[in-house]
Amino acid sequence: MNIHLLWATLAVAVSVAAKQCTNFTVPVCISARNAVFDIPTLQGNADATTFAQNLTSIRGNFTEEALVDYATVTGTYDISVKFCKPDHENGTNPTVQVLTHGLGFDKTYWDLPFNDFNYSYIDVAVDHYGFCTLSIDRLGEGNSSKADPLNVLQAPAEMSVLYELTSMLRNGSLPNVPHAFTKIVHVGHSFGALLSYLLVRTHPTASDGIVLTGFSQNGTYLPATVASWDVKLARLNQPLRFGNISYSAVSSALSMLRAPAFDLPQIRSGLAKYNVTLGELQEVFRTTDLANFIAGEQLPRAANLPSGYLTWTDAGSNQYAFLLPNYFDPAILQLAESSKFPFTLGELLTIGSEAPMAPDFKGPVQIVTGQQDSIYCGGDCLATGDPDLASIPAKSKMAFPAAKAFEAYIQPSTAHAINLHYNATGAYNVIQRFLTSQGLAPS
């Protein structure tokens, strides 16, 4: 047998059997000091626009204007997680990375099925470096429990979930994971990075190291991001996923599309009166749950989310905030838009929950942000205006005076959603090498 073919066959076998993953839900009891906001219930998209206008206005701090009190929020919620480990664990002291996604995503951000999982962060961390991972659906997102979008789903409550899951990993009480980890690293993206930041400020010994991706402490451009989203009620933007419309009702309404009398030339003629082509109409529907329905795809049961769950308008808004033109596959944008998840009033009001410093955290800190990140760098993370400051994220070093090490890495040709760009695996390797250099590799 050809020796090169033998090695290729062995490599494929190792890759296929490289990791073992288990999906399950964990009951988590939380306790958090949340804000109480005086925000009227949103009745429609016009109210969502009004909220966005208030939130982004330079006349003052709308979060402070709407704040009336604080209250302790408690409860038990089911959190959906995915635990992955190497197929053959080496050593007796594994390291687990806790992965927390940002707004608009769920835990699949870390294990994208796109292009045969070639964009998977988990594959790199587990298969190539031997880490374990625990990726979570944040409270209110994905397959985790839904909750009040204003009073519960805020940064403090979601950080409480992160702390409780971390404690379970530390003491060996996490279901389906019969191991007490002595080395735990937190890797967060965007809002998930904020939660990891808040975790080590509030509980400095909870983590042995943190990696904050798509992050800086410069919130100057957040209003522009919210404005670019043209926020809508999630239940109206994708009614089959997030509303309460029935499939039978949609089937009835669309029955004409399958009827013999359906006249495509007549449709084209009608669109032409408005200077719209059939292709343009298809482009509009391409990333909606309605298009998926027409194509015969199986959609999850409509979630009937309350009106405090919001989302951006369309793929254009998605690209503007998250992706750098010419450096992503257009098909991944379609996937990201059709599978997007909503964010909440409470999250937007507390996304600026600034932890000015994490003075007692002694572990290593790495920030990994795309050079063209528009949300936290205005489109250029190197434009600091200060010759002594290498990048906008590098300024966060001052927030970690006791950190064992600090690194701010700027990923080239990349915007905010690092994991959706062509060169994503380059950033993944930078992260794993940093953790390894800090003694946090499995051993």
Tens digit of each residue's pLDDT (9 = 90 or more) over 214-234: 999 999 999 999 999 999 999
- Alpha helices, H only, 118-218: 121-122, 155-171, 191-202
Instruction: Determine contact, residues 161/79, Cβ cutoff 8 Å.
Output: yes
pLDDT digits (tens, 9 = 90+) for 96-106: 999 999 999 99
Confidence of residue 306 (pLDDT cuts 50, 70, 90): very high
Has residue 57 got a pLDDT over 80? yes
The type of residue at 116 is: D
Instruction: Determine contact, residues 32/160, Cβ cutoff 8 Å.
Output: yes
pLDDT the model gives residue 300: 61
Residue with tokens 């880490």: 131
The type of residue at 295 is: A
pTM of the model: 0.89
Has residue 415 got a pLDDT over 90? yes
In residues, how long is the chain? 443
Q: DSSP class of residue 124? A: I
Task: State the average pLDDT over residues 180-192.
Answer: 98
Q: How far apart are CA 324 and CA 202, in angstroms?
A: 34
Question: Phi, psi (5° rounding) for residue 417?
Answer: -85, 80
Has residue 128 got a pLDDT over 50? yes
Both tokens assigned to 249: 């009702």
pLDDT digits (tens, 9 = 90+) for 240-254: 889 887 666 666 655
Separation of first and last alpha carbons in the chain: 36
Has residue 7 got a pLDDT over 50? no
Both tokens assigned to 30: 């939380």
pLDDT digits (tens, 9 = 90+) for 65-75: 999 999 999 99
